[in-house]
Chains A and B, each alone.
Chain A
Amino acid sequence: MDLLSAQAAGWIVIPFLVVCLALGVHIGVALGLAGFIGILLTVGPDAAGAQFAAIPFSTTNNFNLAVIPLFILMGSFATAAGIVTECFRTAYVWLGKLRGGLAMATVMSSAAFGAASGSTIVNAAVFTKMAMPEMTRFGYDVRLSSGCIAAAGTLAALIPPSILMVIYGVITEQSIGKLLIAGIIPGIVTAVIYCGGIYVLARVRPDLAPRADIKVSWAERWRSLYGVSGIAVLFFLVVGGIYGGYFPATYAGAVGAFGAFVIALFKRKLGPGTLAEVLKEAAVTTSVIFIIVVGGMLFARFLIYSGLVDLISNGLLSLGHGKYTYLVGYVVLFTILGCFIEPIAIMVMTLPIMYPVMKAQGFDPIWLGVVSVKLAEIGVLTPPVGLNVFVVKSSSPVPVTLGQVFTGVMPFIAMDFLSLVLYVFFPGMITWLPNLMSK
């Protein structure tokens, strides 16, 4: 068989991938088949078979990636334990009275629950069920309430545990522990920016978020803190363990999952039936994620083996633009892909090519990790395919249209870009904490 040049193969494989994705082929399958065909065309059938034989096992039989099911499990146990309700309750009694306070409470409790959950979708789903009826009851505009829930869900991906950070770390061979720690401050800053934006919105357009008439005593406020003490302890255990170098990320995941398991047991929320259900769901979520990663790894092998990575990245570098032109290009690329593809797939598709380029431009790998996660998470909010928006719409107990949610997330997307600008001007807010770490 005559082998093709990398360029020629690229012209066959990339359109194949696009058509597959548009038809609704599973993302992992589309990436994996595209990778297989690509290697077949450029290196030959033996190499293609060897990759197919090796990658599924080496990707799953991997201790670093084992943190993913454990993080998922931690989130599922925490959800089963009813920690979400307590986070929301606490934020509600503290912030509810402010202008736009219920929306702020949603943002803050989503951030707090992000300390137990690594999945933006789960956050969006659980908060829709809890916060939507409450905000509607007090006369909030559905665009604001639904938009704020969808956007606040993305905080889970920045605040550790975070599945996306793990994926970035594995693809770029960076310390997963450092990446997880690096997400803390940007996560908090994003939450604060969201709250500020909500406050301004509520000031300018008071009809969007009427002041809620909530009567709570200070005793009640202090008491509410007890409810979230469990998750606070869990967070310090997980983050402290990583930060202090007591254990690597995978162990932190196990400790977090076990802690959430104990909390759920302690609250008598975990019968045998629920336990089986939680474990089964966690296994399914893990499987879904890993098929994307396996497919992405096969695709990445094609990009590397065929020489496309060198071809494209050298081509990009030879343009000789300034550092920040590349960053703008990176942002545009992620934003466009984010309109159609979900975050993990964006990471596995783009990083093999873009990471070397960005690193050669002198961007700090950990800094770039947080920026990439942020960008991929903007993608779950942008039309036409915005996962969080879909989740909010489909799990909302209050009638809301897709159009309303998409309108509602727009101000939050603008605020996300504001956060990105802050990351560029103050990179220390990302790199400071991980640089303090011992190892």
Chain B
Amino acid sequence: MKWSAEIVRRLAIGLVLLGSVGMMLSMLICVADVVGTNFLDWPVPGTLEITESTMVLIVFGALAFTQEKRGHIRVEILHGYMSARLKSLADLVTHLLALVFFVLLAWYSFGELSYSWEIQEATMGTIRFPLYPARTLLTAGAVLLVLQLVLDVIGDFGRAWRGEPPREHAPAPEDSAKVS
């Protein structure tokens, strides 16, 4: 259990770092394209396509990492009125539903992915930019989140059973302010 959590955690960090590099890259390439188009009469080919693919990487790359940090936004109206066990039970239900959602997402996107590889799917524009790498990243990110959620559901079940309160939620908004 411990080592599996550790593996998932490391993979999640790896993917989020890859997403960070992608974000930096798409920023630089867009700026290069602006400068190239407006001043040098030399637009950077593929800017749009590369930016789109990195978007998929950023969003799905950060999924599992965000879940591990409990960073996803949720409404907590009833939580104030619940006992520790009930809170853990509510967490169990929410994580189970999230599991259902992302299993569906991973399942259907895997179908798309295999078809995309088969036909070597690419964009229709002037350059034929391949789309299957981005689809692979989407599926990989979703599968990793599914694994993380399975670990969370097991943890929630144990806590609900023992009557312990749920794991603390990360104060997500402040994290971004911490860098100052």
Which residues of A approach B to under 8 Å, CB–CB?
20-30, 32-33, 36, 49, 52-54, 56-57, 60-63, 65-66, 69-70, 73, 75-76, 79-80, 82, 84-85, 119, 121-122, 124-126, 129, 241, 246-247, 250-251, 253-255, 257-258, 261, 274, 276-288, 290-292, 295, 340-342, 345, 384-385, 387, 391, 394-395
B78 contacts the other chain (CB 8 A): yes
Rounded to whole angstroms, the CA-CA distance of A279 and B77 in the bound complex is: 32
Rounded to whole angstroms, the CA-CA distance of A341 and B75 in the bound complex is: 7
Q: Are B180 and A52 in contact (CB under 8 A)?
A: no
Rounded to whole angstroms, the CA-CA distance of A286 and B73 in the bound complex is: 12
Q: How far is the CB of A255 from chain B (nearest CB, A)?
A: 6
16 A-B pairs besides A56-B105, A279-B20, A280-B16 with CB distance below 8 A are A52-B105, A56-B109, A57-B138, A69-B26, A69-B55, A79-B180, A80-B180, A124-B173, A241-B34, A253-B30, A255-B34, A281-B176, A283-B16, A284-B175, A286-B62, A287-B58
Q: How far is the CB of A368 from chain B (nearest CB, A)?
A: 25
Contacts of A291 in B (CB 8 A): 59, 63, 72
Asked if A27 meets B98 with Cβ closer than 8 Å, knowing A56-B138, A251-B33, the reply is no
Rounded to whole angstroms, the CA-CA distance of A188 and B99 in the bound complex is: 44
Rounded to whole angstroms, the CA-CA distance of A413 and B109 in the bound complex is: 44
Asked if A288 meets B97 with Cβ closer than 8 Å, knowing A57-B56, A60-B55, A122-B176, the reply is no
B130 contacts the other chain (CB 8 A): no
Return 17 A-B CB contacts under 8 Å, by A number. A22-B75, A24-B75, A24-B90, A27-B74, A33-B100, A36-B104, A52-B104, A66-B26, A70-B27, A125-B177, A126-B177, A241-B34, A254-B26, A282-B20, A282-B176, A385-B75, A395-B177
Q: Are B171 and A23 in contact (CB under 8 A)?
A: no
B38 contacts the other chain (CB 8 A): yes
Rounded to whole angstroms, the CA-CA distance of A255 and B62 in the bound complex is: 23
Q: Are B56 and A61 in contact (CB under 8 A)?
A: yes
Rounded to whole angstroms, the CA-CA distance of A251 and B69 in the bound complex is: 31
Q: Are A60 and B60 in contact (CB under 8 A)?
A: yes
A-contact bits for B78-93, CB 8 A (1 contact / 0 none)? 1100000000001101
Contacts of B131 in A (CB 8 A): 61
Interface of A is mostly: helix
Which residue in chain B gives the minimum CB-CB distance to A50? B108
Q: Are B108 and A53 in contact (CB under 8 A)?
A: yes
B7 contacts the other chain (CB 8 A): no
Rounded to whole angstroms, the CA-CA distance of A125 and B52 in the bound complex is: 30
Which 7 pairs across A and B sit closest by C-beta, in order of nearness?
A254-B30, A279-B20, A287-B62, A53-B108, A125-B177, A121-B173, A283-B62
A-contact bits for B98-130, CB 8 A (1 contact / 0 none)? 101110110011011000000000000000000
Q: Are B56 and A73 in contact (CB under 8 A)?
A: no
Partner of A62, one of B34, B55, B177: B55
Partner of A385, one of B59, B77, B111: B77
A-contact bits for B38-73, CB 8 A (1 contact / 0 none)? 100000000010011111101111110110010111
Partner of A57, one of B24, B69, B75, B109: B109
Contacts of A32 in B (CB 8 A): 101, 105
Q: How far is the CB of B110 from chain A (nearest CB, A)?
A: 9
Q: Which of B139-180 contact A (CB under 8 A)?
A: 142, 171-180
Which residues of B approach A to under 8 Å, CB–CB?
16-17, 19-21, 23-24, 26-28, 30-31, 33-34, 37-38, 48, 51-56, 58-63, 65-66, 69, 71-79, 90-91, 93-94, 97-98, 100-102, 104-105, 108-109, 111-112, 131, 134-135, 138, 142, 171-180
Partner of A340, one of B53, B75, B134, B142: B75
Rounded to whole angstroms, the CA-CA distance of A73 and B175 in the bound complex is: 14
Which residue in chain A gives the minimum CB-CB distance to B29? A254
Q: How far is the CB of B105 from chain A (nearest CB, A)?
A: 6
Rounded to whole angstroms, the CA-CA distance of A121 and B78 in the bound complex is: 22
Which residue in chain A gives the minimum CB-CB distance to B89? A23
Q: Are A287 and B63 in contact (CB under 8 A)?
A: yes
Q: Are B173 and A26 in contact (CB under 8 A)?
A: no
Q: How far is the CB of A150 from chain B (nearest CB, A)?
A: 12
Contacts of B101 in A (CB 8 A): 29, 32-33, 36, 295
Q: Are B59 and A286 in contact (CB under 8 A)?
A: yes
Rounded to whole angstroms, the CA-CA distance of A291 and B62 in the bound complex is: 11
Contacts of A288 in B (CB 8 A): 66, 71-73, 172
Which residue in chain A gives the minimum CB-CB distance to B79? A24
Q: How far is the CB of B65 from chain A (nearest CB, A)?
A: 7
Q: Are B65 and A53 in contact (CB under 8 A)?
A: no
Rounded to whole angstroms, the CA-CA distance of A387 and B173 in the bound complex is: 10
Q: Are B134 and A287 in contact (CB under 8 A)?
A: no
Q: How far is the CB of B176 from chain A (nearest CB, A)?
A: 5
Contacts of B172 in A (CB 8 A): 284-285, 288
Rounded to whole angstroms, the CA-CA distance of A23 and B52 in the bound complex is: 34
| Most chain B C-beta atoms within 10 Å of own C-beta, residue among A61, A121, A391 | A61
Asked if A251 meets B74 with Cβ closer than 8 Å, knowing A49-B108, A52-B108, A126-B177, the reply is no
Partner of A65, one of B28, B55, B79, B97: B55
Asked if A274 meets B59 with Cβ closer than 8 Å, knowing A29-B97, A247-B34, A282-B23, the reply is no
